[in-house]
Every structure is written in structure tokens, then in C-alpha cells.
Amino acid sequence: MPHVQNGWYLAAWSDEVGRTLTQRWIAGNPVCLYRLGDGTPVALEDRCPHRKFPLSLGRLDGDVLECNYHGYRFDGTGACVGVAEQQDKPRAATRRFRLLERDGIVWIWPGDPDRADESQLPDTSWLTDPNWTHVRGVLPLKARHLLLVENLLDLSHETFLHPSTIGNAAVAATPIEVTTAGPKVYFQRRMTGVQAPPFYEKSMGLTGPVDRWQDGEFHPPGIFVLNIRLAATGTEEPEGFHMKVLYGMTPATENECHDFYALARDYATDDEQLTTFQHEQQLSVMAEDVQALEVQEVMYATERRRVVESSIRSDLAALRGRRVLQKMLAAEAAEKTTAGPVPATR
Amino acid sequence: MPHVQNGWYLAAWSDEVGRTLTQRWIAGNPVCLYRLGDGTPVALEDRCPHRKFPLSLGRLDGDVLECNYHGYRFDGTGACVGVAEQQDKPRAATRRFRLLERDGIVWIWPGDPDRADESQLPDTSWLTDPNWTHVRGVLPLKARHLLLVENLLDLSHETFLHPSTIGNAAVAATPIEVTTAGPKVYFQRRMTGVQAPPFYEKSMGLTGPVDRWQDGEFHPPGIFVLNIRLAATGTEEPEGFHMKVLYGMTPATENECHDFYALARDYATDDEQLTTFQHEQQLSVMAEDVQALEVQEVMYATERRRVVESSIRSDLAALRGRRVLQKMLAAEAAEKTTAGPVPATR
Amino acid sequence: MPHVQNGWYLAAWSDEVGRTLTQRWIAGNPVCLYRLGDGTPVALEDRCPHRKFPLSLGRLDGDVLECNYHGYRFDGTGACVGVAEQQDKPRAATRRFRLLERDGIVWIWPGDPDRADESQLPDTSWLTDPNWTHVRGVLPLKARHLLLVENLLDLSHETFLHPSTIGNAAVAATPIEVTTAGPKVYFQRRMTGVQAPPFYEKSMGLTGPVDRWQDGEFHPPGIFVLNIRLAATGTEEPEGFHMKVLYGMTPATENECHDFYALARDYATDDEQLTTFQHEQQLSVMAEDVQALEVQEVMYATERRRVVESSIRSDLAALRGRRVLQKMLAAEAAEKTTAGPVPATR
């Protein structure tokens, strides 16, 4: 399955990008990430237009990136500015991908830079808001992008896959409400008078019945935000505990993803022990997901029949998300633009 | 190469199947094996009709199998009986494969259950006959099914591949007689006044010239039985030593098999030291075969030309077996039935 | 990419071939290498015409090679001379490849033996000339043949990839002259008044400005010879240091090569310490090349677009070499002869 090119993906956490050249595959494209001297992040297609050697194995000479195989040199726009030691100045370029850095995230728009639309990005100001604290990272995932999207858009799986941390019967038992706004898909699950699963019990000290809200937002093709609110049943909502989880669901290749996560809370923000606990729990939850999705990938990859899968009400958000991605892909295919990198020589 | 679906394969030894869910690939199908509370063995297609998650990673709740990703629940017929914690009761099912348990073997018929024909199974009563004793097991084999079939239908290879155990010059030097009965292929090799190879010499204490008979039966697509009789030359046959070897040649995927074996004898049945010796020798022989077939698989997989292979008289049984399998495959292809699992939703 | 069949490749160093059967893949063909009793090297297609088993796993019985699976026996021409222990004498053969042994090299011509043309081989008498000494070996390379050819035909890469041994700015800074003669491609680079890179400085004790000459010869499809001459600037050439490097660029499979090398010098031929130093340096240079080409292979293999690569003047020899190979391949395809092994049965 090809990947949507005209859309935002989380390329890296800001502190992952510096003066060291780094390769990361994004939506089928090899990307070389680095910063110019003034701090501007740059993403170039990681194939030298000369002989496809990865630019990320080259070196920075000020703001000029020099390929380490034959010395082709590129400025921050991807344009070749000469060849080291040689007179030739070929009219060549490697594609520069559109980036946007905000709130500690480097976003990438692999498709047509002119269509990059900042308004499609979700609010991430809470990542830099002093009233919030968060942990973050990225895990490799050997499964196709769609499986990760559907995993997050149907949290009923928490009941079965994550019973020792964030899941209990109440999750699957509580129906979701799904709404859409353009390509965006929203769902909300309002659990009332339920028990808090172990993670929340330990994180918030809630032992009696609680109200637990999940508000999910899918910003296609690659971003998911989950708003979590818990409070003792009967409490006015504003006094509850708030958490937010951002997932950067970034396809790498056809069957591999980068699974970026940031887990934030608005209470006990100075409690480092709690931060450590929550990070460990988050990684434990994600390890269960990674293991499940990697097995699921095998079952999809080896299926030889065309199967109409059985679906139920709790799949509604995931099915909407799947359809949105299919539409975006079909539209890009129809444009007959490659929607990929520009010709190596221009 | 696809695999014949309408035919018996050895799915498991009876003691491999219990209340623990187990995945085994059979003839290209992922199969989830377990037993109901009353001991009935069950084989379901190991993909949840919801999102293809392996049912074998789920759990048994009495006789109900619950998928561990989103809680779909199935009875022993493969029918979905509900979704844990949810109101929905989707009209879904996963395919139930036809099984038959007999003499400590769980046989599977991956194709149309209505065509499953018990009469095609060979006699295996000797596996439970108190006058016989046997060892058994299963080895993984990274080679296509046909190579294993041909290996067993042309035992002249014992001379070259197994000289330290069951082979000597007499095997290749003695022609076979081949007969057929419907799709079944039989061969017999009558060695008279020959030396017993090391395995038989040590197993039976035969040092002088012996008569050694091999009677092979191929029950396509997946079963081979070898009847072995040895006696000092001149002895009346009924006083000889009898051995039987059953091979369950079960294709897993296109280039992988399960190589089931049971090796039995009708003499010195209480001699545990002999049993251990014979098991070790059998595993040593099979290790030689596995190594050879895995190399042979590479040579077949990398061949780019269409080659008519050279054949000789000792290939006759193997060529018949190959043709039977080709016919069965062609017939299944012609039916245009997928001959595979039924639609996930019914 | 298929490989040119009608051309010479380095199959092995003479001392690699003996009475032990050895498998080596060459230009997509599995080859079984050995020597007859009289020392004649033989290369047979390493698939038994019976059931494709590798002959290299068989055994030599005098000059007869016996397959270890079912006993087919072959003479040194590849003709089947019988089957061990059996009466049958099938009219079968495995292909015998044309070999030519000279100066410690076993050359192979995988295509039509009648077209094998010794005059296409370069002079290699320096490998046995007492006035010269050399080191040699072979490294495995997981990259397509063309990348290795282009690597050697554009030595401007020495500046960037090998700065601690054989490269410095002068290499890339000095243009090459390219000439052709039939399919052969020659280039020369005349560096004058430059600094000697570390390897040459240490090998020859040259500290002041030197003249450094590179004369490359590509004998397509698989041979490259580099003539190196260094002398203090102003010295008459005959007094300089001479080195020669032979590369046997032998494709194994589509994306794998054997990277044969011999590095020779005509001075201080008895200095074993120098020999050891030069061998270590050569292996260090080749390790850098192998690492680069294997990464480059990935970037070629994952490229989904049709890209016209940017090229500059220093690519001229490599582009000529690429075109020669493309022409040879097109000619072989046009002949519609498979240009590969003959039918297994003849």
C-alpha cells in the first residue's frame, strides 16, 4: 500500500534533529534530517541525484552538505552548489521536503510543498505549556500504517490487550460517539461510575467509582490525539485529572512505522516518580500493541483471499479513518502526479 | 505452488492438542488447534473474521474461544457467539476445518468438509496395537512439499545420503516394482541375500546375509507408510523383523513443511534401550534428509529455466506421485472453487 | 538485472580450486569447481540434471563426480556416465562451463563456449613475473555488479571515501582522459606536483611533491586493471614506483558479487613488512568500498521512480562502461538464445 504524501507526519522530536545528519524513512521516502547553522531544520531526500548515495552518510561544511561518495554539494534547499574539488556545477537537486517545527515537534509534509497546510495540524501547545508535563519517545513498529491507525481509533482493545494497565471491562462495554469534520474523525467514550484501571488508579489515587472520558481525534493521515479525563464519580469535571496522548503514526516503508508518542498530564507535574511510573506504563502498553500489531501484520500479509471483514459498532471510528485514508490515496493516485520527490535533475 | 486442499494431512499428534491454543500452518492455512471441554479436537482458521488477529493468541472461556484483540467470541463450530462486553452479535464465523482423530493422530482435511473421505486414510491401528511399540515426533523442514514426497518415494537415496544408518549399495542396486490403485501409489523393493545396513544390524542382531523388503504406500496428498521386513536369508518371512514408518508430509507454507514421523517395530517391544537407539537413528537419518532437501529447495527456487529433468527407473514411484499431485491440483484449480476457507462473514 | 554470459569473469584464484568440490555462484549460475586428477580445472553447473541437487555436495571417484542424493555420475565434460549401483545410463548432462587458467587465475566464460575469446583477457603476466610481487584475495559484496564497475571506473571517489589511505583532493581535482577500443574502456589521470596520499607516502617514502598516474582499463564485463605510477615530481618516469591492481568483478547473483583483488608492486619485492602493510591497507580500502556499495545497493533497490541521474565529467569512463554492459546485455537478449546452460537432458 502506498502512503498518502500530501499530509503531515511527525518526522522527529526537535531534540532528535541537530548538526548530525540522520536518515529516517518517512512514507516510503528516505529522508536526511539536519539543522542549518541558524537552527532551521532541513529534510532532503536521502539519495544523491548523482548516484543515489545516502546524503546522510556525508558531512556538513557549514550549511553545505557534501556527499561522501563523489563530493556533490548541496545547500539547504537541496540545490547542488558544486562538486568538491571539481569545476563542474551540475544543474541537479535533491528534493527538499517541507518541514514545520512547533512545540518540540518537527512535522514533515512529504508531498507537494505548496499544498502544505498548517491548519491541518492539531493543537500541541500543551507540550510546551508549563502547566503540563510530558514524556515522549518513538518505537519502531513492523506493521503497516493502517493497522496502527485502526488500533488507536478503536480503544475497545484496551480491555483485552492491556488489562494490567489501562484496560478493563468498562472500556469495551461503553459505546463511542463518532463525529467527523472534513477528513478528521473524532470519537468520545463516556464511562461513568466505573472502576479506574490499574494505571489510573495508581496515577491518580482514585479507588472508588470514577467517570472516565476518552476523546480521540484522528488528524489524517498520521496524527492521533487522545484526551483523557478522569474524576471521582459525581465530581464536577473541571476538578478531574487530565491527560493527553499524542501519537505520531508515521509510516516508514510499506510494512514499517515509527510509533511516536507523547504522554502528558496537568497534575502533579513536579512528581518525577510519577513521571517515571507513567513512562514505564506507557512503554509497557506500547510493547503489547507492537507485539499484537506485528503478528496482525503477518496475518494480513499472508491472506490470499479478498475478505470483507466483520465489523461492529465499536469499529465506527476506525472504519471512518480507514475510508478517509483510502480516499486520500485514491485522490493522489488520480492526480497522476507521482506525489513523490521531484526529478533528480531539474 | 498451491497445495491440495481436499485431502488428509497429519495436523498433529493427539498429545500435541489440548486446552492450550496452538497455531500451526497447514497447506497454506493458519490453523488454531485446541480441544473442547469434552476432548473433541477443533481446528479453526487462525484469523479472526474481525481484524485477522490470530485466534490462537486468545483464550478459552469454557468452550468459547475469545479473541484477545477486540473480544470476538467463537464456539467450537467457528461461529461468532458475541463480542465480550458488547451488545453486538455479528453474523460472522471463522472456518472450522474438518478433523478426524484416530490412533493418536489428529488428521485434517483443509478443503470442503463434505468431501472428507475417511476411507482414504491408511491403516494406523499398529500405532495402538499392544504388539507394536513406536517413537514419534515432528521436524520442521524448509522445503516444498513435493521434494519431501519425492524423497520418500525414491528410497534409492538411502544408499548415498544415509550410508551410516539405513543405506547401503543394495538399496539403489535393487529395482522397485510400482503399482497404483486410484490415486495411491505403491512400490516394493525386494532385496535378497544382502548385508543389513548398520541400523538394522544393530537393531536386530543380523550379521549374515538378509532379505530386506521395503513396501511403500503413498496416500496422496500427504501420507506415506513404509513397511519394512528383514529376516536372515532363507528364513520364512513370518519370522522376520517387522517395522513400519509413517510420515505425515504436511505442507505448511509454499516452501515449508511439517515432517511428522512415527517409527514402529513388532519385536523386543519392551526394550527401552533399543527404542532410544532407534529414535536417535531415525532423527539422525531425518537430519540428513532435512539438510539435503533444504539445499535442494534453494536449487529449485533459483532455477530460471524450464527444465525437463532426467529420470531413471528408480524414479517411477516418485514420478507417479508427482503426477497424482499435479492432477489433484489441476482439478481443484478447475473447480474454480477457492477450495480455501469460506468467507469470513456469512 | 541479468548478467552478461558471453564474457570472462574471474572464477577463482588457482589455489582455491583443487580436489575438493566447491560451489560458487557466477553471473547467476551455480558452479561446481574442482580439478581432475591431471590438474585440469573443471566447472560444471551445480545442479544435477536428475533432481537439481548440488553436485558440489557429492564426491569425486577419480575423475568421476558422483551426486550424493541418488548417485548420478558425471565425467569432466559434464556427461552422465551412469548411476551408481544401477543399470540405467541416462542420456543426461550438466553443463560444463568454459574455463581458462593462466597466471594463477581460473577464468570462466559462462555463455557459449564456442565464442570464448582468449584475446579479450588482459595481460596478467605480472602476477607471475619475478620482478613483481602481489597479494590477493576475494571479498563478498552485497551489491549489484554495475555498482562495483562504476566504483572502479570513477576513482574520484578516493578523495571522499578513502582519505586516510589512497585518496586526497588531487584525485577528484584532476580530470581524466577517456578512450575506448571496441568494448574496452580506458581512462588516465595524470596528477602532477601533488602530495602523495598516506598509503603511497608510507609505501614509497615519498614526502615531497609527486607525479601520480592512474591508468585504468575496463575489460567488460568483469575485469578491471589499474596501473599506478608514482615518482617525485621532475623524475623521469622509468624511475618511478609501479603498482598494478587487478579487480575481478564477478557477479554472483542479481545483488551479490565476488570482489576479487590482486595488488602488485615492482619495487622492494622482498620487503614482507611492506607486503603486509599494503595488504592491510588494501583490505581497509575495500572495506570502505564494500560498506558504501552495500548502502548504495539499498538506495537503488528501493528507488521507485525512473530517474535520470546527474552526471559530470568524472563520470565519463563509468558511463561508457555502463553503456557497454547495457549493449552486451541487449545483444544477448536479442539473440533469444538463453545464453545460459544447455538443457539438462541432451
DSSP for B59-127, please give it: EEETTEEE-TTT-EEE-TTSBEEEETT-S----BB-PBPEEEEETTEEEEE-S-GGG--GGGSPP-GGG
Q: What φ, ψ does residue B84 adopt, rounded to 5°?
A: -55, 135
Q: With contact defined as beta carbons under 8 Å apart, do C43 and C30 qualify?
A: no
How far is C187 from chain A, CA to nearest CA, in Å? 17
Q: What is the pLDDT of residue B238?
A: 59
Q: Which residues of B touch A304 (CB under 8 A)?
A: 28, 340
Measure the CA–CA gap between B263 and A296, rounded to whole angstroms.
Answer: 38
* Inter-chain contacts counted by CB atoms under 8 A, chains A and B: 95
Q: What is the pLDDT of residue C182?
A: 96
How far is C161 from chain A, CA to nearest CA, in Å? 6
Give residues 264 to 293 of C whose Cβ lies within 8 Å of A. 292
Q: Do B53 and A304 touch (CB under 8 A)?
A: no
Nearest 5°: the CA angle C143, C146, C147 is 55
Does B82 contact A at CB distance below 8 Å?
A: no
Residue C159: closest C-alpha in chain A: A70
Q: Do A309 and B344 touch (CB under 8 A)?
A: yes
Measure the CA–CA gap between C241 and A13, rounded to whole angstroms.
Answer: 54
Q: Which residues of B touch C92 (CB under 8 A)?
A: 310
Q: Which residue has the higher pLDDT, B203 or B324?
A: B324
Does B309 contact C at CB distance below 8 Å?
A: yes
Q: What is the mean pLDDT of chain B?
A: 95
Percent of chain C with pLDDT over 90: 91
Q: What is the mean pLDDT of chain C?
A: 95
What are B54's three cell numbers? 490470530
Measure the CA–CA gap between C2 and C293, rounded to whole angstroms.
Answer: 19
DSSP C131: T
Residue A84: closest C-alpha in chain C: C172
Does C110 contact B at CB distance below 8 Å?
A: no
Peptide bond into A220 cis (omega under 30): no
Q: Which residue has the higher pLDDT, B308 or B336?
A: B308
What are B326's three cell numbers? 499435479
Q: What is the pLDDT of residue C339?
A: 44
Q: Which residues of B touch C69 (CB under 8 A)?
A: 157, 160-161, 292, 296
Q: What is the pLDDT of residue B128?
A: 98
* H-helix or E-strand spanning residue C64: strand C64-66
How far is C343 from chain B, CA to nearest CA, in Å? 7
Q: What is the pLDDT of residue C238?
A: 59
- B79, B226, B345 from B338: Cα distances, Å: 20, 33, 16
What are A69's three cell numbers? 561518495
Q: Do C302 and A30 touch (CB under 8 A)?
A: yes
Nearest 5°: the CA angle A130, A135, A138 is 135
Band of pLDDT at residue A22, cut at 50, 70 and 90: very high
Give residues 132 to 171 of B whose Cβ lies within 8 Å of C. 150, 154, 156-157, 159-161, 169, 171
Does A308 contact B at CB distance below 8 Å?
A: yes
Helix, strand, coil abundance in chain C, percent, nearest 5: 30, 35, 35
Q: With contact defined as beta carbons under 8 Å apart, do A285 and A166 qualify?
A: yes
Cell numbers 498518502: residue:
A4
Test the A interface: residue of B26, B51, B72, B253 with most A CBs within 10 Å: B51
Q: Which residues of C touch A47 (CB under 8 A)?
A: 299, 303
Query: Crossing angle of helices B145-153/B272-301, nearest 10°?
Result: 120
Q: With contact defined as beta carbons under 8 Å apart, do B111 and B7 qualify?
A: yes
Measure the CA–CA gap between B330 and B335, rounded to whole angstroms.
Answer: 9
Give the number of residues written for chain C: 346
Using alpha carbons, select from B167, B148, B172 the residue that is nearest to residue B314.
B172
Cell numbers 558504501: residue:
C292
Q: Do C299 and A30 touch (CB under 8 A)?
A: yes
In the predicted structure, residue A81 carries a pLDDT above the cut 50: yes
Does B172 contact C at CB distance below 8 Å?
A: yes
* H-helix or E-strand spanning residue B276: helix B272-301
Q: Do B83 and A157 touch (CB under 8 A)?
A: no
Percent of chain C with pLDDT over 70: 95
> Which of B112-116, C185-189, C235-239 is least confident?
C235-239
Q: What φ, ψ does residue B284 adopt, rounded to 5°?
A: -70, -40
What are B32's three cell numbers? 488454531
> Which of A26-35, A115-124, C200-209 is least confident?
C200-209
Give the number of residues written for chain A: 346
Q: What is the ipTM of this complex?
A: 0.94
A174-232 pLDDT, tens digit each: 999 999 999 999 999 999 999 999 999 998 888 889 999 999 999 999 999 999 999 99
Nearest-by-Cβ selection for A86 from C172, C292, C304: C172
Does A173 contact B at CB distance below 8 Å?
A: yes
Computed on alpha carbons and rounded to an integer, the radius of gyration of chain C in Å comes to: 22
DSSP C1: -
Does A337 contact C at CB distance below 8 Å?
A: no
The residues, ordered by sequence, that sit 6+ positions from B130 with a Cβ below 8 Å of its Cβ are none
Mean pLDDT across the stretch A270-291?
97
Q: With contact defined as beta carbons under 8 Å apart, do C172 and C159 qualify?
A: yes
Band of pLDDT at residue B346, cut at 50, 70 and 90: very low
Using alpha carbons, select from C322, C303, C333 the residue that is nearest to residue C146.
C322
Q: Which residues of C touch B169 (CB under 8 A)?
A: 84-85
Q: What is the pLDDT of residue A298?
A: 98
Q: With contact defined as beta carbons under 8 Å apart, do A344 and C308 qualify?
A: yes
Q: What is the pLDDT of residue C342?
A: 46
Number of helices and strands in chain A (H, E): 6, 17
Q: Are strands B80-83 and A133-141 parallel, antiparallel or unpaired?
A: unpaired
What are C10's three cell numbers? 574471474
Q: What φ, ψ does residue C319 adopt, rounded to 5°?
A: -65, -40
Residue type at position B263:
L
Residue type at position B290:
V
Q: Which residues of C touch B301 (CB under 8 A)?
A: none
Q: With contact defined as beta carbons under 8 Å apart, do B97 and B43 qualify?
A: yes
Q: With contact defined as beta carbons under 8 Å apart, do B10 and B34 qualify?
A: no
What are B29's three cell numbers? 492455512
Residue C93: closest C-alpha in chain B: B310
Q: What φ, ψ does residue C224 adopt, rounded to 5°?
A: -130, 130
- B113, B142, B177, C77, C201 from C88: Cα distances, Å: 45, 31, 15, 19, 67
* H-helix or E-strand spanning residue A125: none
Residue B57: closest C-alpha in chain A: A292
Using alpha carbons, select from A256, A285, A64, A59 the residue that is nearest to residue A171.
A285
Does C343 contact B at CB distance below 8 Å?
A: yes
Q: What is the mean pLDDT of chain A?
A: 95
Q: What is the pLDDT of residue B343?
A: 44
How far is B173 from chain C, CA to nearest CA, in Å? 5
Q: With contact defined as beta carbons under 8 Å apart, do A154 and A317 qualify?
A: yes
In the predicted structure, residue B341 carries a pLDDT above the cut 90: no
Q: With contact defined as beta carbons under 8 Å apart, do C283 and A32 qualify?
A: no
Q: With contact defined as beta carbons under 8 Å apart, do B43 and B22 qualify?
A: no
Q: Which residue has the higher pLDDT, B171 or C308?
A: B171
Test the C interface: residue of B154, B290, B310, B311 with most C CBs within 10 Å: B310
Residue A88: closest C-alpha in chain C: C312
Does B64 contact A at CB distance below 8 Å?
A: no
Mean pLDDT across the stretch B300-308?
92
Band of pLDDT at residue B185, cut at 50, 70 and 90: very high
Band of pLDDT at residue B206, cut at 50, 70 and 90: confident
Residue C92: closest C-alpha in chain B: B310
In the predicted structure, residue A337 carries a pLDDT above the cut 60: no
Band of pLDDT at residue A279, cut at 50, 70 and 90: very high
Q: Do A157 and B30 touch (CB under 8 A)?
A: no
Q: What is the pLDDT of residue C155?
A: 98
In the predicted structure, residue B339 carries a pLDDT above the cut 50: no
Q: What is the pLDDT of residue B193?
A: 95
Cell numbers 490525539: residue:
A225
Using alpha carbons, select from C285, C126, C278 the residue that is nearest to residue C204.
C278
Measure the CA–CA gap between A13 and C116, rounded to whole angstroms.
Answer: 60
Give all chains having 3 or more CB-to-CB distances under 8 Å with chain C.
Answer: A, B
Give the number of residues written for chain B: 346
Residue type at position C189:
R
Give residues 212 to 251 of C whose Cβ lies within 8 Å of B. none
Band of pLDDT at residue C338, cut at 50, 70 and 90: low
The residues facing B165 across adjacent strands are none
Q: With contact defined as beta carbons under 8 Å apart, do C228 and C134 qualify?
A: no
How far is A70 from chain C, CA to nearest CA, in Å? 5
Q: With contact defined as beta carbons under 8 Å apart, do C259 and C251 qualify?
A: no
Helices (H), A89-168: 145-153, 158-161
Q: Do A308 and B28 touch (CB under 8 A)?
A: no
How far is C346 from chain B, CA to nearest CA, in Å? 9
DSSP B189: E
Cell numbers 557534501: residue:
A66
